[in-house]
Structure 1
C-alpha cells in the first residue's frame, strides 16, 4: 500500500510501538484518520485517531478528559491531527484496561462488561496475528489484513 510505510514511520516518530501499528492497521487501510468523522458515531461510541478508539474508553483513561461526559466527544477529534496525542491516549487506555481493552475497543461498555465473547476473542486473535506479522515490516508499505466481520 503506497504511503503506508510513511504513516507507520510517522506514528513511530510520535512514540508508537508495534502494538499501536497493529491496531491502526486493523482499522484503516493506510493507518490514517481519513475516515468518516467519528466513524459515523457519536457519544461514547465516537471513534477518533488511527486506531479508532472510542470516546467512552478515552474519557476514562486520559486524565485531561476525565471530567467530560458522553456528549463531549468532539474533544477527542484532536487525535485525528495530533499523532503524539493519538499514541498517548492509546497507551493510556491499553495500560488502564489491560486485556479488557480488546473487549471495550471492539464492543464499548458491553465488551468491557463481557470481554470473553467469541467475537472479541476473534478480534483479539486477528490483532495478535497482525502484531506478529508486522515484525520486520514496521517501516515498509506492506499491509496485513484480517477479515473481522462488523458487529
Structure 2
C-alpha cells in the first residue's frame, strides 16, 4: 500500500471510530482501485470504499449526479454504474413493467411505435452484463428487432463499410478507434467479425468509438467517411434525432421485452 493511501485509510478509520458516517466516502468505481484487496481504494485524489458491485457485476456509482434521469444507471470512468437504491421502479431496478407506454410522442415528421419481443429482455441484460449502457442499447435497438448479431455477414457490405456487432458499427471507424486494429487496411475487415460472438468486445469497441469520435460518431456511423466529411446533412440529423428519441424511451426499459422503433430509412 502506498504511503498516501495508507494515511488516507488511517484517517478514514479514525473518522469511522468516532462515529462519522461511512457513506461520506464514495464507492470505488473499479475494484482495480484497491490492488491490495484491503477494502479501500484511491480514486480522484480521495479514499473510496470497494463494493462487491451492483447486480450483473456493475460498480456502484460514486455520485447520484451520474444518473440525471433517475433510471438507476449512471456513467462514470468510461463505464456503466448502478446508483445505490436508485431507479424509477425502486430498488435499483430499471427493468420496467414489460409493457409499452400508453402513448408516445414521436420525433417531428417521423413515425414511431412500441411493441414487445419475447426474449428481447434477456438480450438487453446480456449486453448490460457485458458492460453496455443505455447508449449501446439504443444503438442496437435501432438496428435489429432482437438487438443481436443475427443478420447477414457484414450486413452485406465489405471493406470499410463492413458492419459488425449488435450496433452494426463500420470497419472504417472501428479500425481507427480500437487501438489493436489501427494499422489494418480496409481489406482486413473480417477481423471485426469477432464482435459478433463476443459481447464484451462488441461493447468495448462501441464505447471506444463513441469516445474517439464524440459528436461526429453519428455522422460516421450513418454514412462512413462521407458522413465524417459532411456531418450536418438532413439524413444524419434525422438519424441522430431518432437515436436520441430511442435512448430516452429506453429509460426504465433497459432489461424488459419492450422494443421502441422510429422510422429511419436504411442506407
Is 1:77 the counterpart of 2:193 in the alignment? yes
Q: Which has the higher contact order (CA 8 A, sep 6+)?
A: 1
**1:79-98 alignment to 2 at 5 Å?**
79-98=195-214
Give 1:37's match in structure 2, choosing from 153, 161, 185.
153
Count of residue pairs the alignment pairs up: 151
Tell me the CA shift for residue 142 of structure 1.
0.1
Tell me the CA shift for residue 3 of structure 1.
1.1
Q: Which runs of 5+ in 2 are unaligned?
A: 1-116
Distance 2:184 2:206 in 1: 18
Distance 1:11 1:88 in 2: 11
**1:10-89 alignment to 2 at 5 Å?**
10-89=126-205
Greater fraction helix: 1
Tell me the CA shift for residue 150 of structure 1.
2.1
Secondary structure of the corresponding residue to residue 144 of structure 1: strand
Q: Which has the larger radius of gyration?
A: 2
Distance 2:159 2:228 in 1: 17
Distance 2:126 2:263 in 1: 26
Once the two structures are superposed, residues 51-93 of structure 1 have per-residue CA deviations (whole angstroms, 9 ceiling, x without a partner) of: 0000000000000000100000000000000000000000000
RMSD: 0.4
Runs of 4+ in 1 over 4 A off after TM superposition: none
Distance 2:266 2:149 in 1: 19
Q: Which runs of 5+ in 1 are unaligned?
A: none
Greater fraction strand: 2
